[in-house]
Amino acid sequence: MRIKIALTTTLLILALSIQSQTIDIDNGQWLNVGLERQITHPQPMTGLNLWPWKAKKLHSTYGQSIQLEFNYFLPNKIVKGCMEDGTIIYDWSYFDQALIDVAGRGHQLVARFRYEYPNSTDVDNIIGATAVPDYIKQLPDYQETYSESAGTYYADWSNKELQRFTLQFYTDFAQRYANDARLAFLEIGFGHWSEYHIFPTTVEYGKNFPSLEYQKEFLLHIEEVANGLPWLVSKNAANNSPIVGDKELMALCFGMFEDSFMGEYFLNDGYKNSWDNMGGKTRWQIGVIGGEIYPQESTSFLNPEGVYGKTLEEMILEYNITFMGCNNAPDSPYGTPERLKQVSMSMGYRFAVKECVTNGNKTLLLVCNEGIAPIYRDAYFSIGNVRSDISLKGLLPNEELWIEIDSKPRSDGKDINIVCDYILPQQEIEFEANIKSTINYDSLLCVTEALCIIDKLDDNTSTEMEFEIKGFITDIQEISIQNGNTTFVIAETGNSSEKLTIMSAKGLNGEPVTNENFIKIGNEVIVKGRLQKHNNQGDIIPSMTPGGCLISISNSTSGIFTPTHKSRHSNTIYNLSGRQQSQIQKGINIVDGHKVIILSR
């Protein structure tokens, strides 16, 4: 029994809007588009990451296993002074060069600015010196404190200029880099390594640590100026910030980072209260979750058997992790390029297209996120240069979304892609798809349907698959007994202006043509072959490529052809595979010969 999927009348039932957006599609003829895609590499803005020096050293072997690199940055290396009116004087070349370096390897940067780094000599070769800009350190009312036990100086948070500068710095930084595709995420904070603690030093708010009032002002300011750049704070902010218990701050779209993932204390829920109090159970739905593997486990965490009773993949799923630092991983016996790639591909988002239909003017895609976290930047499905208006940002795991694009794809769907302004030119957001076209040689098309497919082809190209087309012969251009073929024209009706040229077709079932009178004008025929857009010196001729054949020839010469969509009222329901169903399902159904699309049940 032949089930014809592409039918003349289409009924769209818009049962429920997705994410408060209703897709408004005109009734019309819809064809199922074959789409075959695979995800072959870690996706942009996801996966394990190395420090730049390590990524550069191992790029030839590990470059395709990662998409991200992480580094600390020092404000004092960017800030050169301050004018009398308060304008900060910058030299951004230090940060620009870091972006150029990372992007040159096809990767994006995860950046974190810090003032304190215990025992570091990165600033003026002085142990524990802060990265506070020199012009602030030279102010008479600026006085840092020092901790022998921590081996570091602390920024003076009683100083008004330090407070003002910190706000202005992130304002100016975001204005310059928030939309820079080379920058994936920004980690912010205060204290040691900007991780919201100064252990073992005692916190003195308003002195060696910002006051709670200033911290709230700072966090609200970051949300205001970030301009879409995903930003994260340490889970330690649960203890040394005003976030927990403040509804306004908890509602901000910050993510969280933690630098002891896979550590024994972490895996035994040592930080569970802090994590949960920061909204960790659902925080990942609006903010990026990432961080770093606990240093002591940096050479064992990739063990497929796991550590302390838990595998890395289990932890990634539990915390909905998008990225993770693991600079020492390549030095371990488990840290092969293949293992890093495998783990990286288990993080973050993972898109799949479940259904794809077009009516020749618009295209509908049913998209699912099969990953463990959303994408945190806007990304869109597109056909060629035509983008959908619906962003994939925020699509949660296992959620589905109908995407509408005001264009039609190639018959093979190869011009359907995901575009994003926040990834590098050499990066690609891939998707899974395994949709078998219902427009195949077992599906009988009318001439109008064939012309719809041909119209999307490039000049002088053809489809890869063969189609069966039904129509009436309106003109016979040649019958060649010598070559055993014939060239003729078919249309849906005898007076139709839309025609399809059948070029050098064989006879019935591929047999040579041996009789000059075997076809006549007005015969109803079914032909089989590949469709092409033939450009004859500027004259576009929709046609079937040479080598096709006739499947059947009717003796009827009425010249009137109406597609045989029988009127049935038996409530018979089929899916796109031609299998009968007991009831309508979400997605595309064939009900009494009509296509019914259910967006949600």
Q: Which residues contact 115 (CB under 8 A, 6 or more apart)?
A: 75, 130, 131, 132, 155, 190, 194
Share of the chain above pLDDT 70, in %: 86
Residue 453 has a pLDDT of 85
Q: What are the φ and ψ backbone dihedral angles of 37, each rounded to 5 degrees?
A: -140, 155
Assess whether pLDDT exceeds 70 at residue 466.
yes
Check whether the bond before 200 is cis (ω within 30° of 0).
Answer: yes
Average confidence score pLDDT of the chain: 88
How far lies 155's CA from each of 45, 118, 144, 193, 195, in Å? 32, 12, 5, 13, 14
Residue 394 has a pLDDT of 97
Which domains, from first to last, does the chain contain?
21-39+350-435 (2.60.40), 52-331 (3.20.20), 445-553 (2.40.50.140)
Residue 569 has a pLDDT of 39
Residue 358 has a pLDDT of 85
Question: DSSP 3-state helix, strand, coil percentages of the chain (rounded to 5)?
Answer: 20, 30, 50
CA 248 to CA 358: how far, in whole Å? 44
User: Read out DSSP for 491-525?
Assistant: ESSTT-S-EEEEEEEEEETTPPP--TTS--TT-EE
Share of the chain above pLDDT 90, in %: 75
Categorize the per-residue pLDDT at 576 as very low, low, confident or very high, splitting at 50, 70 and 90: low
Residue 361 has a pLDDT of 82
Residue 307 has a pLDDT of 93
CA 118 to CA 460: how far, in whole Å? 67
How far lies 96's CA from each of 92, 101, 180, 217, 371, in Å? 6, 9, 11, 28, 32
Contact 290, 257 (CB under 8 A): yes
Strand partners, 367: 353, 401
More confident residue, 497 or 520: 520
Beta-carbon-side half-sphere exposure of residue 468 (alpha carbons within 13 Å): 17
Beta-carbon-side half-sphere exposure of residue 482 (alpha carbons within 13 Å): 1
Residue 449 has a pLDDT of 85
- pLDDT, one tens digit per residue, over 382-441 is 999 999 999 999 999 999 999 999 998 887 788 999 999 999 999 999 999 998 765 443
Q: Is the pTM of this model over 0.85?
A: no
Mean per-residue pLDDT, 514-540: 92
Assess whether pLDDT exceeds 70 at residue 582.
no
Categorize the per-residue pLDDT at 562 as very low, low, confident or very high, splitting at 50, 70 and 90: very low
